[in-house]
Each structure stands twice: as C-alpha cells, then as structure tokens.
Structure 1
Amino acid sequence: MSSVPLPLLWLCGPSGVGKSSVGWEVFTQLSRDGVRTAFVDGDQISLCHPVPEASGQRIRARSLAAMWPHLRAEGAQCVVLSSWVNTFEEVRACTALLPDAALTLCRLRVDPAELEERFLKRGWRPDLVAGAIAEAADLDRGDLPGLRVDTDGLGVAEVARIVRERAGGWPGAVPAATPSGSVPRPPDPPVDAAPAPVLWFSGATAVGKSAVGYEVFTQIFRAGVRAAYVDVKQLGALRPGTGSHRLQARNLAAVWAGYRAEGARCLIVSGEGDSDDTVRGYAELLPGTAMTVCRLHAGPATLAERVARRGAGEGPALPGDQLRGLDSAALRRAAERAARDAAALDRAGAGDLRIDTDGRSAQEVAAQVRALLPGTWADLSRS
C-alpha cells in the first residue's frame, strides 16, 4: 500500500439532498481538468439484503476498502465518495480501513420544504420523503464534525464549487498518477462451498438491465434469501481515461467477496451490452460461482422510447447516466446505436437466455427470467 495519502472527499447528508449529483459534479470538474479522479456511490456498494440495519454501514465500509487498492493501482489521484452516515463513529470505523486516506468530510443540508420539493420533482419513490426529512432533522441535532454546506436555492455546479472552496481548494496538491496494475487477489471461497449462482443481465443501452436486475434482486431478498446486487458501471468511475473492464471486474470480485462473507447466497449483476467473451472475463475473477447470462432484447421503437424517457429524467437517478439531459438529436443518435447493438447481440446469439422486453414491465420480465433460471436458483428458497 502506498504511503502517500490519497485525498478522500466524503459527501454525506439525508436522502435526496443531492450527495450523488454534487459528488458526480466534483468528479466531472476535476477529471475535466486532468486530475485522475474516482467516484464511488456508497449506496451502490452496499446492496446486500436482507441484513440487520446496523450492518449496512459496515458492508459499505468494507466494500470501499476492498476497492481502494484497485483505484490506487489504476492511478487515482483523489476519490469522491457519496454516502450517508449518521455518526462520527461510523466515519472512524470506515477510515480505519483506509489508513492512507486523507479525509475531508462535508455534510450537505437543505431545509425540509426544499428537500420535499426535490424528492417530488425527481418522480421516484415519493414515499421516502417523510423518512428523509426525519433523517435530516436527526443530522441537524447531531454533532457530526467537518464542513457543512447549505444547498437551499443552489444548483449542483454551484454547490460543488462551494464545497471545494470551503475544503481549501480540494483536493489541493495531488499525488502523481502512477498506475501499477498490482492488486491483492480476493480470497477464494471455501473448497467445500457449493457454487454461488450469479445472474448477469446483458443487452443494449436502455433495454432495462438495471430495472429488471434490481427487480429480480428485490423479489429474491423479499422472499428471505440474502442476495446481492451490483451495477458494474458503478464500479468503474475513474477519469480521465477510457472505461476499464479490468477495474470494474476487479472491483466486482472484491465487493462480491465481502457480500459472500456477509452471507449472500446469490449475486445479480446489471452488466453491459458486451460479448460473451467479455462476460467470461468477469466470471474468471469470481471463483466458486456458477454464472447464467440473461440477455434482454428490445426492438428499435422500444429502445427509442426508453432512451427518451431516461433523457427526460424518468426513473431513479443513477450517477453518471449519460442519457439524462441530452437534447433530442443526441437521444436519437443514442437510440440508433442501441438498436444496432441489440441487433449485433442477436446475430451473435449472446447469452444463455434471451428475453424479449417489448411492451412489458420490469416485474413481468423478472417473473419470466426467474421461471427460466436453472434449478440452483429455485433451490435457494428451499435450503
């Protein structure tokens, strides 16, 4: 492990305050300026359910610590983390696993009326607004140290500027980007353990990989089976530079090892529209698993409709969604690329399963997927 401290900006605050949006804007600003910056959304590295509520922060901390050497090896010069936290004890427990991190903690806050307005405007899970307001009140009453930035009436770019300014021009002088490629290998599973089933969703952009994958995950854990979910795109935000399957695969293996240690019995992955060869490269880093690749398919008209809806901001706001906010011409080009990719995957016969999603909800598609899965998945609920 390097002895040179790696700057870590931890943005915290209640649900809906804008942690991910502001964190992604800081990440974008720095990477645009040539600083090799990593972004991690804490929510995306702790999706292992059902577990006791107190376990969530521990899982999050262990996942970040497992990813940390991979970010170092790929030449990260600073890391932006968007993640909730309730107490400073939780912060200390996390940073104890990151001895070479130079932490800056910043809490974002907003008045209750504007927090509610933001929740309702995004049009997703408005039922969570009361809990978010209560969470914000608890944080205001608490004694969490570090910076505090009020975001009322401010845009995302302005908040990002204020955060960096109040943090002394964060990240300040950064270490040189020195990719090494050398990282520790995740522990192998016990030799007598049965292979853990992995369900990998592939397909073209906007075909519904995340929506269907998360729905399958939700159905499984609500049945009482401890399951894990990962969107691989959320494990490789490191710029400037091109996307790295190597980083995503290493981080997937590291995060899964932690979930497995927490008792997860299966893994659902929202992958990308890649070839079977690419998916096999990920599978090689997941020893002790049995992978099933489910390719989702949709026709050009359906893909165009879904691309347009994402561009308009519908659905959950995932950090770095490249469709959100694009103009109509750019969205049309994205839909055309998605249709070409879908056709190419169809010609190649990619995946173990092929599921048509035209005119169907995520719940309907998820039900069909589960009905077609190998017997190991059905065995989960019986063992």
Structure 2
Amino acid sequence: MNGAPVPLLWLCGPSGVGKSTVGCEIFSQLERAGVPVGYVDLDQVGLCYPAPADDPGNHRVKSRGLGAVWPAHRDAGVRCLVVSGGVETADQVRAYAGQVPDAAVTLMRLRAGHRVLVERFLGRGWRPDLLDEVVRDADELERGKLPGPCVDTDGLPVPEVARLVRERAGGWPRHDAATLDPAPLDPAPLDPATLGSAPLDPMPPHEAPTGEASTGETALREGGHDGVRPGSTPVLWVCRPPAVGKSTVGYEIFTQVNGSGVKAAYVDLAQIGFCRPAPAGDPGNHRLKARNLGALWPMYRDAGARCLVVTGAVHRPETVRAYADAVPGTALTLCRLHAGPAELARRVLLRGAGGGPTIPGKALKGWPEDALLRFAERAAREAAELERVGLGDLCVDTDGRTVEEVAGLVRARAGGWPA
C-alpha cells in the first residue's frame, strides 16, 4: 500500500473490562462522522480450538487472523482500524503488529478495579467459573509493562471512556477528531417503514466461474449433507432471521465439536464485516465478508481445524454461492433456523433487558420497548420471507427448545455433522 501507514488503535485489557464495547463505540463515532473505518475483535478472528498447549491464549492464530482480514479492510479504503483483544506481553504485541506492517499501531490498555471488573464480568452471564482467573490476569497486567498508555474505566459511561481513549491516543485517528459526535447510537432508525423498504439481500448476482463448480457450490445444488464428497472438509452454516439465535446455536455446535476433541473453527460473518461505509451496491458488505472468510479458512485449516461452523445472515442462493466459492474444497450445508413471531418478540425483548450473548455490533440492551418491538416485527417479516423462499438444505424449528437441544438437532439432521 502506498502512502502513510493506516492508524490502528488496539484496545487491550482483562476479560470483561469493556474492550469490545468501547471499540464498537469508537467505530460507531467515526462511522457517524463519515470517516471510513473498520473494526476487528481479535477473539472473532481466532476461534480455532482446542488451542495448543504452548499457546493457550491462541495468540498465534489470532495474530494470523488479524493479518488475514486486514488486506480486505485496507483495500476497502479504511482510513483507520479499531481493534480489541487481550494481550499479555510486549512480544505478543510485536507479533500482532508484524501482521499489519502497513499500519501505525497505538496500544491502549483499559483497566478497572476489582469490584467493577467482577460486576462487569458476571454481568455478561458467561463462564462465571473463570472469575478468579480474570482477576488474576488483571493483577498481572497491572504489574506488567505493556507499551502504551492506560485508561481507568471505573465509574465512566462508555462514550466517556471512548473520548478519553482517543484523547490520550493523541486525538486518534487525527481525522477531524474535534467534529466527531460522541453521542451513543440511536435506535430510532428502526422505523418499520424504513426497514420494510430495504431489500433483504441486495448483493449483485454472483458470476459463477467457468469450468467445474466448486465442492461447496455442488453441495448446495445436490442438497446439503447428502452432497458431501468423501475427503472434503465439512462446513455448517447456520443462518437467520435476526434474533433467532443463530450465533448462540452456531457457537454451541462449535463448542460441542471441539469439546469432543475435534479441532474446529468458527466464523460469525457479521464479525468480519465491520467496515464503513459499505459499498452502495453491497450494503450487507457480503463481498468483504466472503473475502475475509476465504482468507481465514486456510489459516484455520493450517492450524489443524477439521471442520468449520459459520453463522450469518443470507437470503438469496447467489449470495450463498459467493461464500461457498470463497472456501473451495469444502462441503457446505446450509441450515436455516426458524422461530415464530411470538418467540422472536420474546427473544428480542429479553436481549433488550440485557439477556443473551454480548457480541460486538449486536447489542439491543437498553433500547426502548417500541424500538425492540419494531425490530421483532422486522425479524418476523424476514422469517416469513425465508420460509417462502425455502433457502437452505434443512430447517430446524427453535420454538420451545434449549440451545443445546437445537444444536443437537441441527447436527443430527445434518447427518451427524461433522461426521
């Protein structure tokens, strides 16, 4: 890349301190200000487990994951990149920075006192058994000598932490920084009329390559798991409507598989597509996501992954084929999850109250009830459209079932996936 290095702001700190939340806030501020910006959560580009014994933090995979998705963001024209992810040593920082040699890296550590850190971590509702380890890691970071400044987050709202981070990073990224609007995201754009008028999946039609079709495309035509060829790598894609639980179910499948001793990889497509502004002809950023999926999979495969779980929104067969062609040599099974309107509304309201997983870019917590209900109505309309189109090799109804039950049912209906 010609020209000056691209500014990269890396937020680090202990688990639960708010790295992803603050990173998303800075990304959103810059997006609203019209600055071309990208965001990468390092955990989301390193989900390939079990991790090796000599690298339990999976830093080798995560650093390579950052390097894998950086070119697509850079080529999309971002003027700055926000990254969040834990790191413990200066050597690890150098390893990550070596993957983005044309970026100017600024490391910023977030900290919180024990009481605040415990409250935040437990508030996530995930792995409370790790709390003691989290506190120990936080204390170790306090004793360490990571390069870069530190921001104390105790008692501060997220926008204020974001402001302090950028201020202490020299007005990062120094692109009209004084004009940026620090206000939190406003859910008001969730107007039913606006949502209803937007095309579901406006990616331009995919141009199939000449010659023999890819394994993934053949599997799509021949029918999911029935089309898997011997020796091809199994890929399971769990798709939406919104709030149906695709990320939760997909991650549960991933956890079940690697828990059985099979090394598996997981990609949430939404998490590898944070790049704004999106192209006018591809508002879903499918081209960027497909390119990043294609860059991540060989890295995961080389790290020992024997299968891949993917979650993400899709509505049209040509979009599915574009993703399938990004991972040649694989056998793709597309599973559509279904939930009725009442169940979708219940789940949306639950997330609005703070329930469900905390995933960058997917937070509904704190939204007004009327906005949540409009979101639920949109999800129901998209569910009905998916039912009409019949997209997918199989469909699993999630109503009245636990996440574990749905995950088990998906795998069973996919022929005992990844068998």
Q: TM-score, normalised by structure 1?
A: 0.91
The residue that corresponds to 1:41 in the other structure is: 41
Say if 2:310 is the partner of 1:269: yes
Q: Provide the rounded CA distance (Å) in 1 between the counterparts of 2:140 and 2:330.
A: 41
* 1:111-161 Cα distance to aligned partner (Å, 9 max, x none): 111111112233333222211111100101111110111111111110100
36-45 or 324-333: bigger deviation: 324-333
* Runs of 5+ unmatched residues, structure 1: 175-187, 379-383
Select 1:71's aligned residue among 70, 73, 77.
73
The residue that corresponds to 1:177 in the other structure is: none
How far residue 369 of structure 1 moved from its aligned partner, in angstroms, is 1.2
Select 2:246's aligned residue among 209, 217, 226.
209
The residue that corresponds to 2:288 in the other structure is: 247
Q: Provide the rounded CA distance (Å) in 1 between the counterparts of 2:417 and 2:109.
A: 44
How far residue 288 of structure 1 moved from its aligned partner, in angstroms, is 0.7
Select 1:62's aligned residue among 57, 64, 69.
64
Say if 2:272 is the partner of 1:235: yes
Q: Are 2:314 and 2:320, in contact at CA under 8 Å, matched by a contact in 1?
A: no
Q: Are 1:3 and 1:100, in contact at CA under 8 Å, matched by a contact in 2?
A: no
Other structure's SS at 1:284 match: helix
The residue that corresponds to 1:182 in the other structure is: none
Q: Provide the rounded CA distance (Å) in 1 between the counterparts of 2:323 and 2:4.
A: 30
Amino-acid identity (%): 57
Q: Provide the rounded CA distance (Å) in 2 between the counterparts of 1:365 and 1:326.
A: 28
Q: Provide the rounded CA distance (Å) in 2 between the counterparts of 1:269 and 1:261.
A: 18
Q: Provide the rounded CA distance (Å) in 1 between the counterparts of 2:402 and 2:295.
A: 32
Do the aligned partners of residues 105 and 173 (structure 1) sit closer, same or farther apart at CA in structure 2, a change above 3 Å counting? same
Q: Provide the rounded CA distance (Å) in 2 between the counterparts of 1:286 and 1:252.
A: 7
Q: Are 1:6 and 1:79, in contact at CA under 8 Å, matched by a contact in 2?
A: yes
Other structure's SS at 1:230 match: strand
How far residue 203 of structure 1 moved from its aligned partner, in angstroms, is 2.1
How far residue 277 of structure 1 moved from its aligned partner, in angstroms, is 2.5
Other structure's SS at 1:268 match: strand
Letter in 2 for 1:150: D
Select 1:220's aligned residue among 254, 257, 270.
257
Q: Are 1:197 and 1:377, in contact at CA under 8 Å, matched by a contact in 2?
A: yes
Q: 1:274-293, aligned counterparts within 5 Å?
A: 274-293=315-334
Other structure's SS at 1:146 match: coil
Q: Provide the rounded CA distance (Å) in 2 between the counterparts of 1:206 and 1:39.
A: 22
Q: Provide the rounded CA distance (Å) in 2 between the counterparts of 1:230 and 1:313.
A: 24
The count of corresponding residues between Structure 1 and Structure 2 is 363
* 1:343-382 Cα distance to aligned partner (Å, 9 max, x none): 111111110011000010110011111112236722xxxx
How far residue 215 of structure 1 moved from its aligned partner, in angstroms, is 0.7
Q: Provide the rounded CA distance (Å) in 1 between the counterparts of 2:46 and 2:2.
A: 26
Other structure's SS at 2:104 match: strand
Say if 2:330 is the partner of 1:330: no
Q: 1:347-358, aligned counterparts within 5 Å?
A: 347-358=388-399
